Amino acid sequence: MPASVDLPSRTTVIERFKGQGGRIAAVLPIHYPRALFRAFGMLPIEVWGPPGVDKSTGDAHLQAYACSTVRAGLSFILSGAGEVADAILVPHTCDSLQALASVLLDFTKPHQMVLTLYVPKAERASDLEFLGKELRRVFGRLVELTGQRPTDAELHAAMDREQQADEVLARLLSERGKLGVGNREFYGVVRSREYLPAEEFASLARAALDKWAGAPLPKRTPILATGIMPEPMDVLDALDEAGLSIVADDFAGSGRRLYKASTAHDPFDRMAKTLLSGSPDPTRGCGIQPRIDHLVDLAKRTGARGALFYEIKFCEPEAFYVPLVTRGLQAAGVPCLAVEVDITDPMPDQLVTRIEAFAESLS
């Protein structure tokens, strides 16, 4: 077995960053400008739920059909655990997150500054112009919060660091099939991008690649995995035990955020072009056929023999796509398994059984 990668916890990273005089931004999913916060000396810490949180606090303010990511996220923010944040950013990823932003702004009103960000659903010139204005609006709010005003050069320098980290993440995901490591440990490193400073993530990911590159490859069936995120992460253990290895990543938190580099002179135009350059994403209203074409191509390039749709219950942007996209993949010769989970609940035995049966069908 390869040597384990020593990952610092979110708590350790937050305490260290704040101890150095930095601020923390709690960020809800999915697309947002990491570099903008870092230019202000703020570290974005992403809040994907988190799993294991008591949803009851959030449930008092949201509809029962809001997904567990949003309900747990609101509970986390309103609990003592959310007090470490100096600001909260809620991108308008879906109607449930929009509702969460409204609850924070109009009802519960936490002491932190609450920021919103509207990411367009298309990539026309008007969409780029709109997103540039949105980013400038967030910039102005951060000036109010911090009393700082980063220069264009400082914004570009922050973007350069994030771009380098994205390049290492892309390499990590593209070389997955050649790395002798299990799903759980692999995604521990991949998901550290959610909370580590860009430069620290890049260094850690490079070290992981060096450690895993020469390790013996486990005998597992390669698959594509898609959805919002692999939570609860016990699913990764179940995949390991069933003899399945995720070699093609289309999770919203990782594979869909492999942004293309931009060289635009204006920093806000550069950030806007970067954020709109990801792969076809249901949360951004992409077309059905481009989504099918992307996943079929991803499966073919990586040698994935099947596709796992690992979806969160009541995630409408994802759910609307699953029937047609799975049909398109199956027509292209890629068998599919679609499952739904609540990230705050333990992984049910029934799901483990379905994963095992899927693995047997691919062997």
Q: Which CATH number is correct for 1-363, 3.40.50.11900, 2.20.25.10, 3.30.1540.20, 3.40.710.10?
A: 3.40.50.11900
Rounded mean pLDDT, 267-279: 97
pTM score over 0.75: yes
Is omega for the bond preceding 348 within 30 degrees of 0, making it cis? no
Orientation of helix 95-103 relative to helix 68-78, angle to 10°: 20
How would DSSP label each residue in 299-316?
Answer: HHHHT---EEEEEETT-H
Asked if residue 363 has pLDDT above 90, the reply is no
User: Where do the structural domains in the chain lie, given as residue ranges?
Assistant: 1-363
Give the long-range contacts of residues 53-56, CB within 8 A, separation 24 or more: 53/79, 53/81, 53/344, 55/344
pLDDT tens profile 194-244: 999 999 999 999 999 999 998 888 889 999 999 999 999 999 999 999 999
Query: Strand order in 42-46's β-sheet?
Result: 42-46, 23-27, 87-91, 113-117
Secondary structure of residue 24 in the 3-state scheme: strand
Tell me the pLDDT of the chain averaged across its residues: 94
Residues 6+ apart with CB under 8 A from 320: 282
Report CA-CA distances (Å) from 6 to 80, 190, 192, 290: 27, 13, 11, 38
d(CA 181, CA 3): 9
Q: Count CB neighbours of 360 within 10 A.
A: 11
d(C-alpha 163, C-alpha 105), whole Å = 32
Residue 81's pLDDT is what?
Answer: 67
For residue 335, with 0-12 CB atoms within 10 Å meaning exposed, 13-18 middle and 19 or more buried, which class applies? middle
Task: Give the per-residue pLDDT at 1.
Answer: 44
Residue 85: pLDDT band with limits 50, 70, 90: very high
DSSP 69: H
